[in-house]
Structure 1
Amino acid sequence: MKKTLGCGGQMRSIGRLYVEHNDVRGRNLGSGKFGSALRNEGYCVTLLHRDGYLADGSPPNKSILASVRASGAPRPPYAYNGPMVAMREVHPEDYADIQLSDFRHLMDYLITYASTDVRESVPDLQYRAPTVVRGVKICCDGEIKLHASEPFVSIDVRRSTRTNLSSIQGESNSPISALLGIPLNFWKDPSAEFHVNPPGWDATQWASSNQNVAFMMMRTNPSDPSWGWAPLYWNHDIGNVWVVREDGQDLDVREVAMMCHFARFKLQRMFEDTIDSKDSTLQDRKRVLKYITRENMRAFWEETGGGEAVRSHDDLSD
């Protein structure tokens, strides 16, 4: 007989959601539900639910909504409808008494599942989950003007967020960052806040404009006809952008500020000269590439006033 979870005499097939890892706290509950069964170690928290709860008219689960709010999140990023039962599963369909700590693991999972949220880094935080890396938010014009944000903000990015963003947007690698020795992955902030000019926006640029990002995405293949141009995806409707190191190490906000400053105010002009000049040759383009070094980046940063130059160029309050 097929197992069911229903009410009022209506029979519904059961689905299962398995929580084997707490990405928020960097905790493995076991070595994998099925693998651990052979060694009698580890466990998972299993959430039983109606198999078609998103389409069968089941109402939102108010207990889950209340628990998520009590955990500090306004709502889960994913819908959870109908009756649900959480159990501690130690072998396939072999159960033990659930513990209060399991409730914490379940709430962390429900809050972060399919979430693409990030939060600003806390500089003196003594502990971060090992699945969290420090990245940088490169703010768009709207963020800087309307929210008085710094152009570059340090953020904490969970592994689950990186995975979700990669599955939705793919991974965009900055060619300029690779030449500067620290390959970076870029993702657009999924929030649509600045993709339509908000009320009160009176600047000449779109609120989603983000030139720091666009110039970091300039193509660097000297034989490519699109040399020096950013792909359309990174040249229009950009918004805020989240950046992490390709190697998974923490990313310093100053490093990103230097790269963007170098690309935007030095390299862009050099690329432009080779594009506009009719006499430009392949060797001219290769000379531009040879110039893109960390030493030249740092020298330009110091020569132009570094951080003060960044803030003055991105001050859109006037």
Structure 2
Amino acid sequence: MESAQSSDSCIICNKPNALRCNRCKSASYCSKLCQRGDFLVHKLLCSSFSAFDVSKRPTKQHVEPEDEYDRRYQSPNARPFLNDHGREVPIQFNAVLARRLLDAVCVSYRDTFLVDGSAPNSSVATITTTQPGYHHHWCGPIIAYGKVGSDFDPEECRDIDMHDFRHVADYFMSYGTDLISVPSSPPMNCVKVKGVRINCLGDQKMFNKPHFEEIELSTTSIIFRSHETSDITKRIGIPIYTKRCFPHPNWANAKDAEMFGNESPYNNQDATFLHLCIDPEAKEDFSRGFLGWSWAPSQWQQDVGSTIVVRQDKKPLLPWHAEALCSYCRYHARDCLAHTIGEYAPDKPMSKSLALSMICRPTFSIWWYRMCREQRDKGKIVDAKIPYDE
């Protein structure tokens, strides 16, 4: 997990000694690249924020009376907007940027907005349209404000700035998604599991990351509670959990960037082929994204991005293992499935049962040793044992 952010750190990558936006003098960036990465969100408020009258301080009306402990607890006067149904959510961690915050940002909204007839919140809708994918439907008035510190219940309010706006925007863009943040390192004194991040085109080209990157996760990582699986790797005796990552802001909206050619930066076909359906009884259900036999679900075909893979048994999964599993799914299992649906004419399509018999542990073992030989012929050494090795 990246360290907490100070006011002079880049809002995107957290590098120190960043320069502030020339217009609003609030958000900080270490480079033009990071500034472009934040542009679609930042431009929504930059002009208005630069025109705010910061000389007027909050009045006493914003401060609650002293409590029984002789403390003066500060909170926004939200009742005119939220009535008596307001709910406060403190944002102390940015899930998109995988970063904890030095000072909390709070979001308050009516907890009855789905049933009280509240109109859709167009401001939040404008924010979420900057990021592809499904987003929660927010309605009614919403208030965002800053708090001092990141304790469980900060008492003191503070001015909100454009760094906070980024965290608020990411809260709405990440709310209810099936994506995951990957800390740079798991917490100390925890049990760790070796996994692999299959980096998409955007992360490979923009940050020079390897296609298969070794990572470490805590055994308490959310991927072990919320995940998807692979029919093929389960069938061959190496069941895995998978979860897509949040796209990095620097490439998430750069689909026309020259470095990506004619491809989407979200392109990650290896992750797609891991999720091919091999259930012969599977039915198409387009409303849920299920495309049936031989196809990956729709969420694994569009805007896939980088993907985390771990073994269900929490044994080490190394980059060579992930590469072998992906290539097996993509070039062996997929060809078997393709034959069943008539893609090898004039051959008569083989039966599903025959195709399934060809997707098994022995054929993967053959695939593994073939990959090792091919890599050796290229001058590379596969420094990993076959995944079945105890």
So what's the TM-score if we normalise by structure 1?
0.56
Q: What does 1:121-132 align with in structure 2 at a 5 Å threshold?
A: 129-132=189-192
298 and 84 in structure 1: CA distance in 2 versus 1, 3 angstrom threshold: closer
Kindly provide the amino acid, as one letter, of the partner of residue 305 in structure 1.
Answer: Q
The answer to whether residue 349 in structure 2 is matched with residue 283 in structure 1 is no
Give the corresponding residue for 1:79.
Answer: 105
The answer to whether residue 193 in structure 2 is matched with residue 133 in structure 1 is yes
Give the corresponding residue for 2:300.
Answer: 234
2:312 & 2:326 partners in 1: Cα distance? 17
Give the corresponding residue for 1:187.
Answer: 243
Q: What does 1:32-181 align with in structure 2 at a 5 Å threshold?
A: 75=101, 79=105, 81-82=146-147, 116-119=180-183, 129-159=189-219, 161-162=221-222, 170-181=226-237
1:77 to partner: Cα distance: 9.9
1:156 & 1:55 partners in 2: Cα distance? 45
Q: CA contact under 8 A between 1:136 and 1:152: conserved in structure 2?
A: yes
- Size of the alignment, in residue pairs? 227
279 and 269 in structure 1: CA distance in 2 versus 1, 3 angstrom threshold: closer
1:292 to partner: Cα distance: 6.3
Q: Which residue, 267, 290, 314 being the options, matches 1:209?
A: 267
Kindly provide the amino acid, as one letter, of the partner of residue 158 in structure 1.
Answer: S
Q: What does 1:264-275 align with in structure 2 at a 5 Å threshold?
A: 264-275=330-341
1:140 to partner: Cα distance: 0.8
Give the corresponding residue for 1:18.
Answer: none
Larger relative contact order (CA 8 Å, sep ≥ 6): 1
Tell me which moved more, 191-200 or 177-186: 191-200
1:202 to partner: Cα distance: 4.1
RMSD: 4.5
**Structure 2 gap segments, 5+ residues each:** 1-58, 67-72, 82-90, 93-98, 107-145, 153-174, 284-291, 381-390
1:309 to partner: Cα distance: 11
1:53 & 1:132 partners in 2: Cα distance? 45
Give the corresponding residue for 1:220.
Answer: 278
So what's the TM-score if we normalise by structure 2?
0.47
> 1:132-191: per-residue Cα shift (whole Å, max 9, x none)?
42221001122222322211101122355426x95xxx4210112212322111111123
Q: CA contact under 8 A between 2:278 and 2:356: conserved in structure 1?
A: no
1:213 to partner: Cα distance: 0.5
**Structure 1 gap segments, 5+ residues each:** 1-6, 15-48, 58-63, 66-72, 88-113, 311-318
Q: CA contact under 8 A between 2:267 and 2:303: conserved in structure 1?
A: yes
Q: Which residue, 257, 261, 265 being the options, matches 2:323?
A: 257
